[in-house]
C-alpha cells in the first residue's frame, strides 16, 4: 500500500522557520518576510533524514567514494523522464552545480574565450564566468521567455569571430522564467552549436521540479548533443543546498574532455551529502511528488492573489521551478535610496543586491525578493518571487506587496 505524504510546504510553522540559521532566514531582519533565495520552507524528506542519521550513527563521515550518485541519477532519469541512457561511465562527482559548470568551462575554453548566456538568467552565470576570466556574451530570451534561436545563431557567430573556442551555458529548466525547453528547441540549439563549434554546458538542477503540464527533456538525451555536458544535483528538488554534491556528465563525444577533469575536483563534495542525495533520488520520489502538487497549488493561488491584489503585475506562470518572474513595469515604482555602487554590483550578478521594484517591496512592504537587474539585460523591471512556502505566507507576502505599492512615497 502506497504511503500518502502530506504537502511538505504546509508542514513548517512561521515560528519554526524563524529559528533557521541559513541564508534565507538570516539575511534580513525578523520583520521581513523572505521569499527570495532558492531555499524551500519544508522539512527534509524522511528517507534523507534517515540516511544522514544512519551515517552519523555509524561513523560513516569520511571522504566520498564510488559512482553511487551517478547511478542513482540514472535510475531516476529512467523512471521519471524515460531516459535509460544516463552516462554513468561518463560522469564525475563535483562540489556543486556552479563549480561543475566552471570546471566544464575550463575543459572546453581558455581564459579570454567568450561564454554565451540567455538573460534573464541565474545571476551566478555572470559572476562565476567572469571570475574565471571569460567574457559573457548575451543572447536574450524571446519576449515569451523561450530560447531565441535567431539570437543564439547571431551570438554564436559573434562569439566565434576571432576566437578558437566558445561555450554556451544552458539553464534547463530556465531560472528565473520557469520555462521548460521542448525537445524541438533543444535540437535546434544543438544544431546551431554544432554548426558554430560552440560547446553547450547545461545546468539541469531544476529538472526534478517540473510542474504538471510540462515535460523535462535532459539535454544529453538529444541525439545531436553528444559533445555537450550537463551538471545536476538533488539539492534543489529536495532542498539540500547545505549538503554539497553534484554530478558532471558528458555526451559520448565529450568523453575525452571529461577524462581531463582533475581528480581533486571531486574532493570538494561531501560524503554525507552524497549519501543524502542518493537517498533522495532512490527513496524520496513520493515526497517529491507531494511537493510538486503543493507547488502546483501555490502556482494557482499566486495567480488568484495577483489577479485580485496586483493586477498591474505581468507574469507567465512557470512550467518548472518554484519561482515567479514578475514584471512590475506598470507599477511605476522608483528605486529606493541605495548606496552608491549597487547598480554595478547588480550588473555583476550579485544576488544580494536589491534595486528597483525589489527595493520598494523590501523597504515599504518588508518582503524580500530578488531584484530583476541581477539577472542580466532586460531584468530591471522584474522581481523573482520564491513561492515554495505555505499558502499563509504567500498570502501575507502579496498583501504586503499591495500595501507597498499603495504607500505614498
Residue-wise pLDDT tens digits, 295-315: 999 999 999 999 999 999 999
The answer to whether residues 274 and 232 belong to one domain is: yes
The answer to whether residues 342 and 221 belong to one domain is: no
Is residue 1 domain-resident? no
Average pLDDT in the 206-228 region? 97
Is residue 2 domain-resident? no
The answer to whether residues 107 and 242 belong to one domain is: yes
Average pLDDT in the 272-299 region? 98
Phi, psi of 88 (to 5 degrees): -55, -40
The answer to whether residues 364 and 334 touch, using CB atoms and an 8 Å cutoff, is no
Is residue 201 domain-resident? yes
Give the pLDDT band of residue 339 (cuts 50, 70, 90).
very low
The answer to whether residues 310 and 247 belong to one domain is: no
DSSP secondary structure string, 223-251? TT-TT-EEEE-STTTTT-TTS--EEEEE-
The answer to whether residues 61 and 38 belong to one domain is: no
Looking at the 3D structure of the chain, how many domains does it have? 2
The CATH code of the domain that includes 355 is: 3.90.1150.10
What's the mean pLDDT when you consider all of the chain? 94
pLDDT for res 4? 84
Compute the distance between CA of residue 206 and CA of residue 364 in angstroms, rounded to an integer.
Answer: 32
The answer to whether residues 88 and 213 belong to one domain is: yes
The answer to whether residues 153 and 251 belong to one domain is: yes
pLDDT for res 408? 66
pTM for the predicted model, two decimal places: 0.95
Whether the pLDDT of residue 289 is over 60: the answer is yes
Whether the pLDDT of residue 170 is over 70: the answer is yes
The answer to whether residues 234 and 144 belong to one domain is: yes
pLDDT for res 111? 96
Instruction: Select from 252, 268, 283 the last residue of a domain.
Output: 283
Average pLDDT in the 146-158 region? 97
Average pLDDT in the 84-95 region? 98
Residue-wise pLDDT tens digits, 17-49: 999 999 999 999 999 999 999 999 999 999 999
Instruction: Select from 245, 268, 283 the last residue of a domain.
Output: 283
The answer to whether residues 182 and 256 belong to one domain is: yes
pLDDT for res 296? 98
Q: Classify the C-alpha dihedral 395-398-404-407 as positive or negative.
A: negative
The answer to whether residues 296 and 398 belong to one domain is: yes
Instruction: Select from 236, 263, 283 the last residue of a domain.
Output: 283
Q: Is 59 left (phi over 0), alpha (psi -120 to 50) or beta?
A: left
Residue-wise pLDDT tens digits, 352-403: 678 899 999 999 999 999 999 999 999 999 999 999 999 999 999 999 999 9
The answer to whether residues 368 and 35 touch, using CB atoms and an 8 Å cutoff, is yes
Is residue 113 domain-resident? yes
Range of the domain at 137: 50-283
Give the pLDDT band of residue 14 (cuts 50, 70, 90).
very high
Phi, psi of 136 (to 5 degrees): -95, 135
Is residue 3 domain-resident? no
The answer to whether residues 307 and 399 belong to one domain is: yes
Residues 6+ apart with CB under 8 A from 300: none
Is residue 161 domain-resident? yes
Is residue 188 domain-resident? yes
Is residue 224 domain-resident? yes
The CATH code of the domain that includes 134 is: 3.40.640.10
Give the pLDDT band of residue 350 (cuts 50, 70, 90).
low
Edge-first strand order for the sheet with 382-386 is: 323-327, 382-386, 370-371
The answer to whether residues 336 and 261 belong to one domain is: no
Amino acid at each position: 500500500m502506497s504511503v500518502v505524504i502530506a504537502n511538505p510546504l504546509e508542514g513548517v510553522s512561521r515560528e519554526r522557520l524563524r529559528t533557521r540559521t541559513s541564508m534565507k532566514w538570516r539575511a534580513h531582519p525578523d520583520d521581513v518576510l523572505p521569499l527570495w533565495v532558492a531555499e524551500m520552507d519544508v522539512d527534509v524528506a524522511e528517507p534523507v533524514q534517515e540516511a544522514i542519521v544512519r551515517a552519523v550513527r555509524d561513523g560513516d563521515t569520511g571522504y566520498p567514494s564510488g559512482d553511487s550518485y551517478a547511478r542513482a541519477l540514472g535510475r531516476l532519469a529512467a523512471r521519471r523522464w524515460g531516459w535509460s541512457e544516463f552516462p554513468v561511465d561518463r560522469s564525475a562527482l563535483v562540489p556543486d552545480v556552479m563549480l561543475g559548470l566552471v570546471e566544464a568551462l575550463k575543459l572546453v575554453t581558455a581564459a579570454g574565450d567568450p561564454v554565451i548566456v540567455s538573460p534573464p538568467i541565474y545571476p551566478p552565470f555572470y559572476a562565476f564566468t567572469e571570475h574565471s576570466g571569460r567574457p559573457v556574451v548575451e543572447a536574450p530570451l524571446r519576449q515569451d521567455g523561450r530560447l531565441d534561436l535567431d539570437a543564439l545563431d547571431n551570438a554564436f557567430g559573434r562569439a566565434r569571430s576571432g576566437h578558437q573556442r566558445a561555450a554556451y551555458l544552458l539553464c534547463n529548466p530556465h531560472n528565473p522564467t520557469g520555462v521548460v525547453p521542448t525537445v524541438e528547441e533543444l535540437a535546434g540549439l544543438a544544431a546551431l552549436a554544432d554548426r558554430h563549434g560552440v560547446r553547450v554546458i547545461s545546468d539541469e538542477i531544476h529538472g526534478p521540479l517540473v510542474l504538471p503540464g510540462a515535460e523535462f527533456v535532459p539535454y544529453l538525451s538529444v541525439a545531436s548533443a553528444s559533445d555537450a555536458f550537463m551538471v545536476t544535483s538533488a539539492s534543489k528538488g529536495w532542498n539540500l543546498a547545505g549538503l554539497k554534491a553534484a554530478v558532471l556528465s558528458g555526451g559520448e563525444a565529450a568523453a575525452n574532455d571529461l577524462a581531463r577533469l582533475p581528480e581533486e575536483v571531486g574532493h570538494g563534495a561531501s560524503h554525507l551529502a552524497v549519501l543524502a542525495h542518493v537517498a533522495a533520488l532512490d527513496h524520496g520520489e513520493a515526497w517529491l511528488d507531494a511537493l510538486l502538487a503543493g507547488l502546483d497549488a501555490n502556482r494557482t493561488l499566486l495567480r488568484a492573489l495577483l489577479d485580485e491584489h496586483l493586477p498591474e503585475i505581468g507574469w507567465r506562470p512557470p512550467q518548472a521551478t518554484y519561482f515567479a518572474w514578475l514584471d512590475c513595469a506598470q507599477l511605476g515604482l522608483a528605486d529606493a535610496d541605495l548606496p552608491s555602487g549597487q547598480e554595478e554590483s547588480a550588473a555583476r550578478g550579485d544576488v544580494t543586491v536589491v534595486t528597483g521594484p525589489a527595493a520598494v517591496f523590501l523597504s515599504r512592504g518588508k518582503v524580500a525578493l530578488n531584484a530583476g537587474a541581477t539577472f542580466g539585460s532586460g531584468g530591471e523591471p522584474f522581481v523573482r518571487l520564491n513561492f515554495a512556502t505555505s499558502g499563509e505566507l504567500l498570502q501575507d507576502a502579496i498583501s504586503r506587496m499591495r500595501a507597498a505599492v499603495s504607500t505614498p512615497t
